[in-house]
Amino acid sequence: MKCPFCSEENTQVIDTRENEEGDTVRRRRRCLACDKRFTTYERVELRMPLIVKKNGSRVDYDRDKLAASLMLALRKRPVASDSVDAAIERIEERLLASGEREVPSEKIGGLVMRELRKLDKIAYVRFASVYRNFEDVEEFREAVREVKKPRRPRGA
């Protein structure tokens, strides 16, 4: 950390304290060159990737839009809101873990389908019909077959 007074790079941390919420760390520092003291604050910055839409435009990630999409597919289905919140958390964790700055909207659609398949099979087929843009009844049948067939364990 550079000293704001003399720009020296050698500084010493004198005191460290977390705030009550535990999301910020306050550090008192002393410059080893000019002996002046200053305070720095450290906080976590989680930045969700930009979403690249099919037309190439980029938009900020919007948790509310993701939740609305899930809720639309789950409309009038017996799924607890805690389960929906957990699904959203898993999707966000995967997006953050990817470390990508930009993510195609199709990838998010795939993550949503994966979560809906676990939550509710009817909601999965509803979402798939829009996401995959079904054009005939046979495509619906195929989506239903996907849901019916048992999933293979990983590594099998």
Tokens of 112: 């949503």
Give me the pLDDT at residue 155, please. Answer: 56
Is residue 154 pLDDT above 70, yes or no? no
Give me the pLDDT at residue 130, please. Answer: 78
Give me the pLDDT at residue 153, please. Answer: 59
Side chain identity, residue 101: R
Q: Where are the domains positioned within the chain?
A: 11-43, 50-148
Tokens of 102: 């930009």
pLDDT digits (tens, 9 = 90+) for 20-40: 777 789 999 999 999 999 999
